[in-house]
Amino acid sequence: MAAANAPITMKEALTLPSLGINPQFINFTHVTMESEKYICIRETAPQNSVVIVDMSMPAQPLRRPITADSALMNPNSRILALKAQLPGTTQDHLQIFNIEMKAKVKSHQMPEQVVFWKWSSANMLALVTQTSVYHWSIEGDSEPVKMFDRTANLQGNQIINYRCDPSEKWLVLIGIAQGPPERPQLVKGNMQLFSVDQQRSQALEAHAASFAAFKVAGNDNASILISFASRSFNAGQLTSKLHVIELGAVPGKPSFTKKQADLFFPPDFADDFPVSMQISQKYGLIYVITKQGLLFVYDLETASAVYRNRISPDPIFLTTDASSVGGFYAVNRRGQVLLATVNEATLVPFVSGQLNNLELAVNLAKRGNLPGAENLVVQRFQELFSQAKYKEAAELAAESPQGILRTPDTVAKFQSVPVQAGQTPPLLQYFGTLLTRGKLNAFESLELSRLVVNQNKKNLLENWLAEDKLECTEELGDLVKVGYNPDYLFLLQTILRTDPQAAVNFALMMSQMEGGCPVDYNTITDLFLQRNLIREATAFLLDVLKPNLPEHGFLQTKVLEINLVTFPNVADAILANAAAKTGQIKEVERVTRESNFYDPEKTKNFLMEAKLPDARPLINVCDRFGFVPDLTHYLYVNNMLRYIEGYVQKVNPGNAPLVVGQLLDDECAEDFIKGLILSVRSLLPVEPLVEECEKRNRLRLLTQFLEHLVSEGSQDVHVHNALATVKAFMTADLPHELIELLEKIVLQNSAFSGNFNLQNLLILTAIKADPSRVMDYINRLDNFDGPAIGEVAVEAQLYEEAFAIFKKFNLNFSAVNVLLDNIRSIDRAVEFAFRVEEEAVWSQVAKAQLREGLVSEAIESFIRADDATQFLEVIKAAEDADVYHDLVRYLLMVRQKSKEPKVDSELIYAYAKIDQLGEIEEFILMPNVANLQNVGDRLYDEALYEAAKIIFRFISNWAKLAVTHVKLNEFQSAVDAARKANSSKTWKEVCFACVDAEEFRLAQICGLNIIIQVDDLEEVSEYYQNRGCFSELISLMESGLGLERAHMGIFTELGVLYARYRPEKLMEHIKLFSTRLNIPKLIRACDEQQHWKELTYLYIQYDEFDNAATTIMNHSPEAWDHMQFKDVVVKVANVELYYKAVHFYLQEHPDLINDLLNVIALRVDHTRVVDIMRKAGQLRLVKPYMVAVQSNNVSAVNEALNGIYVEEEDYDRLRESIELHDNFDQIGLAQKIEKHELLEMRRVAAYIYKKAGRWKQSIALSKKDNLYKDCMETCSQSGERELSEELLVYFIEQGKKECFAACLFVCYDMIRPDVALELAWMNNMIDFAFPYLLQFIREYTSKVDELIKEKLEALSEVKAKEKEEKDMVAQQNMYAQLLPLALPAPPMPGMGGGFAPPPMGGMGMPPMPPYGMPSMAPY
């Protein structure tokens, strides 16, 4: 394919050697390219340095003297990262420098060696060690953070890449290792995929991977995809695959269906493998680059192959994304930096024409806004329109590439459709679709506006204008301006929905309008607050309230209130401003007292820092939100004691204990504290006050206060207890004596026997000092605080005494808790529950039984308690204990109290577990809230298929019903259900089950519904084949050919099956459906099954002529056909195949070799062909070929043919060859044949010498053979006088008088007359020289006559000229006398005319007759 028509354009951006980079440093360890902006090269000779190439100005590289083991340029900015190993350690020192600022950003010393590193983003470095992967941010002072540990499959691998998805939630690490023992030269690829959210890794086989974001139809959020390529050798099979899958798919949302495709490597690249992958987000294309320079291009959405070519003859070791152009950069070992880009003009035509994939062509055009699919899009639009599918037509027009359908004609087309009653007009459907896609163009904006104005719906115009959906033009302005009064409130609401900041600007603009703001400030503020836009509302209010007008007091308060809860820092500023500038303490006090919209902690801190003279705002905040100790400390330290008194006396006396505790901690004077306590008196809670003082060992402080309360007749038990406690402490800790005293007072019939406080004191003292007496006191006393004393007894671990107390006071709930939690006797608790028969008691017993694993007993107790609150725990426990009969009873009770989906679902499950299928059918027919889908799935997962079948049939879940029938071996029913489900997954499950059960008729029904899906076809085929069902599979595929939705995959798969199991049908299938086959896949199958004839045919159909020719030659017994081979060989690209073909024909078909050579004659090196035949000793075999190409005057061909003519003694052909073709070793040939036994051969040798200018050798050779005529001709042609005269002497010596005479004529021009006459006179040959002499005399006398004649003519001309001049002068003189003076003078002699001398006679020799003899003129 011509480069201009290829869908991918390659160009050389630069070469590193041209920048002075030594080739030894152009490799993976020295060159890095993290983005399309920079290349970084590390040099170690002649000195250590780092070279940085800015791709925007590559001719000006920056070279710096830096020593490092690795260097990486930041992908976006001029920041350089360096790594160097510390001497004598395995630790690496990392540094980051800002080149522009000439400053170090940060550094870190890694405790282990970094084996690979890469910029994962503009501000993050990824560090890979032997065991782990770290991320190191260049911001702040953070150290590297460990992300995950490397999996075992990467052990011993060379790490070649690391990638993160845009959200940095998915990470992938890639390494390579030596291949398997059976094929070690094929490098193995390993990949580790890690999920940051799940903290899990997955190990996969892959050489290259990349992430991409892809928008799935129906899903508002982009899906994260990973694509990875692998090439592996397993079980003798070489597999090359490309996979595209979605990561982190959200359940319930449309997701991306995983795709896979084959990577077809040519035979010459058997051990090649992917080294890199780049994904173009601009065009949605996957680029897979291999080590040996192959480029595979696939579509991201469908994984369809788009293009394959070799882009570099040298190994590629580095690539990076060129996102700005949608391509990539690649660096090879030669130092070429290659840029691959999409040829936008040819990509779509290539896909639609060469690949015949119209759907992909349209999708690429829409996705990349590319030309080339106009006709397809228009045709599809017209089809949809003719079918009245206006919605689909509108969507197609909206997405049409380069907006080819967004024209007035399209609008007119929709306008022309009649509107059906009750339906949306097609024109509105079209405009609605455009509005959802983006902005309308000028014409569309105008037409839509006309439609809206005519319907008097100008508010829609306001909405669209605010959302920037319309293109503003003068026509549009003229249409809407007449009588237009903007609805500012509506406009503000519209802008708020899309751009809050723009809404603030719009509101501020309205506030500055002449005549005042058209919308009330409070209304504007409420609009912001309704959408929780606190910051925007605050920004608006702070701006409009700058004049500080009295009428804005309400708004000033409002801005404070809304910020106190959400943005306290803003409230802080507002409060500080209020306190400092306006002195409105009263207003601040009200806000802190009434408002709920502020952060208590921050507001408290602010008020303390503000040090307001009035502490009431601070008191409000601290009292409301529990900061009493902080408040007390602040007031005490700032000597604001009167506010402390005011707080405990007037605001909240209940918090006085906390105030007292803090004052004690602040070492406040006791007199002030006592006075403070006495000022509150009975309003102060005694128990917490005693606790606060007791913690600080300051109980004596309370003596006066407690005695004062008792004297006032206080009956508060805590007062008396506290006083007794105080006095007990004051009696120097004498508990036993105190008990004796109290027994005498309480147990003996005294006036204080029934005293409540004394009974409490007696029992409490006994609990602490003599527990053995407690039970007796409990039985004998009745007027004490049972609940409180019981809790004290529990704390003292007197559990039986506590149980007796609770039981005595009918505190059955507390009593059973003691039995269960402290005494730990479930039996006693059950017995107690039977005795009291209280639901709360049974409930506690049930919970305890459940904790102990007594599930059935617990269920019985829950039923008695009528307690449905613990149903989740009961369900789990019952399932663990397998007591489903009991669980059914419990759930039936629970259903009477609540309608919980969990309860109804578990009831169905329990029925299924006890095989009560009839009850299930009855239950689901009644009203229920069970999650039937989940229940059915659970029943299916636990093999309760009969019950699951009931559920799935009821909810019409045909997919699950089908697989349930499969589990029950009800295959016909399964097929019927699968037909209703019509799901690919369901069809597969049923089909595979039918295959396993040998129900092939049903399996075929299912299979026909599966194989129409391209992605599922291969899975079905493998399933059949793995089970040996070859004939059934072939029958299925043959039936699939007639389907309406039959696709390329079916035809291809059937071809593969024929190749494996029915080879006799293969060729017919290929010829019938060659245009509907995936030829690369079928090529692999034919190659594996050794069907060479079919393989050759496929290669030819796929334009793989090199492979076709190779296959024919390697497997000629089956694949060779002479006519076919001739057609193929002229189309191959690899010229080496021509010579391989010559060898092949020489060995196997020598009789046809000339026919082959004539076909490829224009493409081969004739010298090489001759060399091949000479080495094979078969030059004579290709004589016809050499004769045909000798016109090219190739030395090897000439010499070969001349040699053959010599051997064949064909002197005529030899002489003809020599005369016409002079590119050969002439002297060598002459020397070879000058002694040949044939005279004509020796004569040819002399001729060769003559042509070569070796006159003497030629003459000498002719003399030997008495070829005197040849001698004379040679002398004549040589032009050398000496040779001619020597030849005359030779003829005289030999007595060859006639030859002497002939030589004088032939060599007439070279022989001197005196020499000729002298030789003739001396050797008595005057008669033979006389003709020569006559001719010579005649020639020279003619020359003398010509000279005399010319001289006489010249003299005559001179005299005539002189006479003419004299006549002219005389005439001029006569004119001068006759004419007046004003007349002009006549022209001067010779003016206006030229003088030409007479023609000179020729001085050359007359024409020469044959052999150079001049013609004889008569005397």
* Statement: residue 694 has pLDDT above 80: no
What is the rounded average pLDDT of the residues 761-770?
81
**Which tokens belong to 718?**
């805590």
Position 1221 pLDDT exceeds 90: no
Averaged pLDDT, 659-673 = 88
Average pLDDT, integer, range 61-89: 91
Q: What percent of the chain has pLDDT over 90?
A: 31
pLDDT value at position 1023?
92
Share of the chain above pLDDT 70, in %: 90
pLDDT band for position 256 (cuts 50, 70, 90): very high
Indicate the average pLDDT of the chain.
84
**Structure tokens, 363:** 């999708």
Cα–Cα distance for residue pair 166/211, rounded to 1 Å: 8
Place of tokens 């928008």: 215
Q: Give the residue among 64, 40, 44 at the shortest CA–CA distance from 53.
A: 40
CA angle, 293 then 299 then 304, to 5°:
90
Taking Cα atoms as reference points, which of 268, 286, 273 lies closest to residue 240? 273
Residue 1412 has pLDDT above 50, yes or no: no
DSSP assignment letter at 702 = G
The answer to whether 702 and 678 are in contact (CB under 8 A) is: no
| H or E, element range at 960 | helix 958-967
Whether the per-residue pLDDT at 912 is higher than 80: the answer is yes
Other C-beta atoms lying within 10 Å of the C-beta of residue 1037: 27
Helices (H), 1221-1325: 1226-1233, 1239-1251, 1255-1264, 1268-1278, 1281-1293, 1297-1306, 1313-1322
- What sign for the dihedral angle of Cα 759, 762, 765, 771? negative
Q: What is the pLDDT of residues 42-52, one digit of tens each?
A: 998 888 999 99
8 A C-beta contact, residue 928 and residue 958: no
Q: Any idea which of 137-146, 364-373, 393-402, 921-930 has the lowest mean pLDDT?
A: 393-402
Show Cβ contacts of residue 159 under 8 Å, excluding neighbours closer than 6 positions: 115, 116, 128, 173, 174, 175
- Give the helix ranges, DSSP H, for 770-810: 774-780, 786-795, 799-808
Specify the residue for token string 């020597």: 1286
Quote the pLDDT of residue 562.
Answer: 77
Counting Cβ atoms within 10 Å, is residue 891 exposed (0-12), middle (13-18) or buried (19+)?
A: buried
725 confidence band (pLDDT: 50, 70, 90): low
pLDDT over 80 (residue 526): yes
Contacts of residue 786, Cβ cutoff 8 Å, sequence gap at least 6: 805, 806, 808, 809, 811
Q: Is the pLDDT of residue 613 over 90?
A: no
Mean of pLDDT values over 907-931: 87
Neighbours of 983 (CB within 10 A): 14
Please say whether the beta carbons of 109 and 86 come within 8 A: yes
Question: What pLDDT was estimated at residue 1404?
Answer: 36
Cα separations in angstroms, 530 against 496, 537, 559, 906, 1399: 11, 10, 14, 43, 118
pLDDT the model gives residue 852: 86
- State the average pLDDT over residues 28-34: 94
**Angle, in degrees to the nearest 10, between helices 1122-1129 and 1092-1101:** 40
Residue 491 pLDDT > 70: yes
Confidence of residue 1389 (pLDDT cuts 50, 70, 90): very low
Least confident of 547-556, 905-914, 961-970, 1062-1071: 547-556
Predicted local confidence at residue 38, as pLDDT: 96
Task: In whole angstroms, give the CA distance from residue 223 to residue 300.
Answer: 12
Token pair 């004119």: residue: 1375
Q: Looking at the predicted structure, is the pLDDT value of residue 1401 above 50?
A: no
- pLDDT value at 296 more than 90: yes
Residue 1332 and residue 1301 in contact, taking contact as beta carbons nearer than 8 Å: yes
Q: How confident is the model at residue 1407 (pLDDT cuts 50, 70, 90)?
A: very low
Q: Give me the mean pLDDT over the 101-113 stretch.
A: 89
pLDDT confidence of residue 873: 87
Q: Where are the alpha helices (DSSP H) in 273-387?
A: 347-353, 358-368, 374-386
- 581 pLDDT more than 60: no
Tell me which residue of 350, 299, 341 sits closest to 10, measured CA to CA: 341
pLDDT at residue 1377 tops 60: no
Model confidence band, residue 1375 (pLDDT cutoffs 50, 70, 90): low
Nearest to 431 by CA among 459, 398, 385, 466: 398
- Tell which residue, 960, 958, 952, 912, has the closest CA to residue 932: 952
What pLDDT is recorded for position 395? Answer: 79
The counts of H helices and E strands in the chain are 67, 28
Confidence band for 726, pLDDT divided at 50, 70 and 90: low
Q: Hunting for tokens 């989940």 — which residue is that?
A: 934
pLDDT of 1381 higher than 70? no
Q: What is the mean pLDDT of residues 181-210?
A: 92
Which are the contacts of 968, defined by CB distance < 8 A and separation ≥ 6?
Answer: 945, 946, 949
Lowest mean pLDDT among 962-966, 999-1003, 1224-1228, 1397-1401: 1397-1401
More confidently predicted of 433 and 357: 357
Low-confidence winner among 556-560, 568-572, 965-969, 1157-1161 (lowest mean pLDDT): 568-572
Least confident of 480-494, 512-526, 956-970, 1083-1097: 480-494
Structure tokens at 778: 């409990």
Residue of 441, 261, 444, 280 whose CA lies nearest to 370? 280
Give pLDDT tens digits for 420-451: 766 677 777 777 778 777 788 877 877 777 77
pLDDT score recorded for residue 1383 = 40
Q: How confident is the model at residue 737 (pLDDT cuts 50, 70, 90)?
A: low
The per-residue pLDDT for range 968-999, each reduced to its tens digit, is 999 999 999 999 888 888 999 999 999 999 99
| Sign of the four-CA dihedral 118, 120, 121, 127 | negative
Identify which of 68-77, 545-554, 656-665, 827-836 has the greatest average pLDDT. Answer: 68-77
- On the question of pLDDT at 1268 being above 90, the answer is no
| Segments in 818-854 forming alpha helices (H) | 826-836, 839-851
Please report the sign of the dihedral spanned by the C-alpha atoms of residue 994, residue 996, residue 997, residue 1000: positive
Is the per-residue pLDDT at 323 higher than 50?
yes
Q: What residue type is 1219 in one-letter code?
A: E
Q: Hey, what are 738's tokens?
A: 């105190």
Q: Using alpha carbons, select from 299, 185, 294 the residue that is nearest to residue 242.
A: 299
Lowest mean per-residue pLDDT among 266-280, 561-575, 1003-1017, 1211-1225: 561-575
